[in-house]
A = this chain, B = another copy of it.
Amino acid sequence: MNKRKNINDPLYGFLTLPYEILFDLIEHPYFQRLRRIRQLGMSHLVFPGANHTRFHHALGALYLMGEAITNLRIKGVDIDEEEAEGACIAILLHDIGHGPFSHTLEQTIVHGVHHEDISLAMMQQMNTDFKGRLDLAISIFTDSYKKHFLHQLVSSQLDMDRLDYLRRDSFYSGVSEGVVSSDRIIKMLYVVNDELVVEEKGIYSIEKFIIARRLMYWQVYLHKTVVAAEELLLKILQRAKELASRGEELFATPAFHFFLYENPGKEAFIHSRELLDRFALLDDNDVMSAIKVWMSHEDKVLSQLCKNLIYRHLPKIQVQKTGFSKEEIQAQREIIMQKLGLSEKEARYFVYAGKLENKAYDSHTQGISLLMKNGEVVDIAEASDNYNLKALKGSVLKHFLCYYK
């Protein structure tokens, strides 16, 4: 079979798979399920175009990896075929462990198990299926391969993951503030002392990239209505989990049912093929179809929360720089207790406070390095010609309160 497929992508035109194994990896059930998981969870309730999937994002990041490798090789950076294939596999699978509504599930259904752990566990299982052909990819992914810059292409402040998701999320949501010139940035990449760097003339493109990321956080990822929707989903799953722990029956597909009622624990989970396979059956459809059924569950907290989500009666959300006082929160809880006849404990599902935080650029953990014309390598925040980027190093913290009128 011809595995050199051209896949249509509105962003890059055609996506072509440079290695046959990539085609086979995409065929794997662990990967196919990403077709049924939205990249941006509940954001489509605010941005109706944001229905793009983790499947599509992974293909896009793969495309950018191919571009980056081609470009680095032209500049004389040594990347052999095996390494190139490894980097392509690593980026293709970098997010394979994401479940539906990933961050919400991590706090409820698979409590305490991070998608990074699941990604690695799945890659290892796939490596078995593929008879060890993912060894190099896994070592790049875990940064244990000798060429560190390959890992940086997969995971750093300027990796192919970010370059794709900013452009893609911006494209599908229609929030143009996130458009980044991925091709321009990729043409500026270079490697010095095994470190990924950007040529000095790319400084403004990087500045724009950092700003674009900041703006996407506040305009999309942490948009207050998006936060309200995702917090509502969190409350639904928390309530369902609570009812399940009490032994009450909840409609769910078998796979979803398993995770609602069992608590396998992280170690058991990531070492069990069977559990990983079960997990791989979960996607957005399981969660959404259950929530629709729960709208008529007899528990009035659960049914009301589910109706609120399905009919899009999202909680009001107030965002401010300072925290909310206990009194403010309590006052809102009293209102809903009265209105819906709830106990105080139940009211916590309807009124709650929380935090939003974002750091546009973080030079402490892993900065973006600039290669100056004189050969020096400096952190971009030091090289910029004004205080702009330095200012972006500080993190921004906001507080929110969700409630119903």
Kindly state whether residue A14 has any CB partner on chain B within 8 Å.
yes
Cross-chain contact B48 with A53 (CB below 8 angstroms)? yes
Kindly state whether residue A112 has any CB partner on chain B within 8 Å.
no
Cross-chain contact A176 with B174 (CB below 8 angstroms)? no
Kindly state whether residue A179 has any CB partner on chain B within 8 Å.
yes
B residues near A47, Cβ cutoff 8 Å: 8
Least CB distance from A373 to B in Å reads: 10
List CB contacts (< 8 Å) of A220-255 with chain B. Answer: 251, 253-255
Distance in angstroms between the alpha carbons of A288 and B13 in the assembled complex:
29
- The stretch among A140-148, A263-271, A383-391 that forms the contact with chain B is A383-391
* A8 with B55, Cβ < 8 A, contacts A285-B289, A289-B289 known: no
B residues near A208, Cβ cutoff 8 Å: 177, 211, 215
Cross-chain contact A49 with B48 (CB below 8 angstroms)? no
* A181 with B177, Cβ < 8 A, contacts A27-B312, A56-B48, A386-B396 known: yes
For residue A293, which residue of chain B has the nearest CB? B253
Kindly state whether residue A116 has any CB partner on chain B within 8 Å.
no
Cross-chain contact A311 with B35 (CB below 8 angstroms)? no
Kindly state whether residue A303 has any CB partner on chain B within 8 Å.
no
Distance in angstroms between the alpha carbons of A321 and B383 in the assembled complex:
11
Cross-chain contact B385 with A398 (CB below 8 angstroms)? yes
Distance in angstroms between the alpha carbons of A251 and B180 in the assembled complex:
45
Copy total for this chain: 4
Least CB distance from A356 to B in Å reads: 11
B residues near A310, Cβ cutoff 8 Å: 29, 32
B residues near A321, Cβ cutoff 8 Å: 385
For residue A59, which residue of chain B has the nearest CB? B48
- Interface size on A (CB < 8 Å)? 76
Kindly state whether residue A204 has any CB partner on chain B within 8 Å.
yes
For residue A1, which residue of chain B has the nearest CB? B405
Least CB distance from A114 to B in Å reads: 24
* A181 with B187, Cβ < 8 A, contacts A48-B7, A56-B48 known: no
List CB contacts (< 8 Å) of A182-210 with chain B. Answer: 183-184, 187, 204-205, 207-208
Distance in angstroms between the alpha carbons of A323 and B151 in the assembled complex:
41
Kindly state whether residue A392 has any CB partner on chain B within 8 Å.
yes
Kindly state whether residue A6 has any CB partner on chain B within 8 Å.
yes
B residues near A152, Cβ cutoff 8 Å: none
Kindly state whether residue A379 has any CB partner on chain B within 8 Å.
no
For residue A177, which residue of chain B has the nearest CB? B208
* A387 with B391, Cβ < 8 A, contacts A177-B208, A204-B218, A288-B36 known: yes
Kindly state whether residue A284 has any CB partner on chain B within 8 Å.
yes
For residue A390, which residue of chain B has the nearest CB? B391
* A391 with B385, Cβ < 8 A, contacts A181-B177, A218-B204, A219-B204 known: no
For residue A216, which residue of chain B has the nearest CB? B204
Residue among A48, A218, A391 with the most chain B CB within 10 A? Answer: A48
Distance in angstroms between the alpha carbons of A342 and B45 in the assembled complex:
45
Of B49, B312, B398, the residue contacting A9 (CB under 8 A) is B49
Of B187, B204, B215, B311, the residue contacting A207 (CB under 8 A) is B215
B residues near A281, Cβ cutoff 8 Å: 292
Of B59, B171, B388, the residue contacting A392 (CB under 8 A) is B388
Kindly state whether residue A83 has any CB partner on chain B within 8 Å.
no
**4 more CB-based (< 8 A) A-B contacts, given A36-B288, A38-B51, A51-B51:** A8-B46, A204-B219, A207-B211, A285-B288
Q: List 30 A-B contacts (CB under 8 A).
A: A8-B46, A8-B175, A9-B48, A9-B174, A10-B171, A10-B173, A14-B187, A16-B187, A27-B311, A29-B310, A35-B45, A48-B53, A48-B55, A48-B56, A48-B59, A49-B52, A177-B204, A177-B208, A179-B179, A204-B219, A207-B211, A211-B211, A214-B388, A253-B293, A284-B285, A321-B385, A385-B396, A386-B394, A386-B396, A387-B391
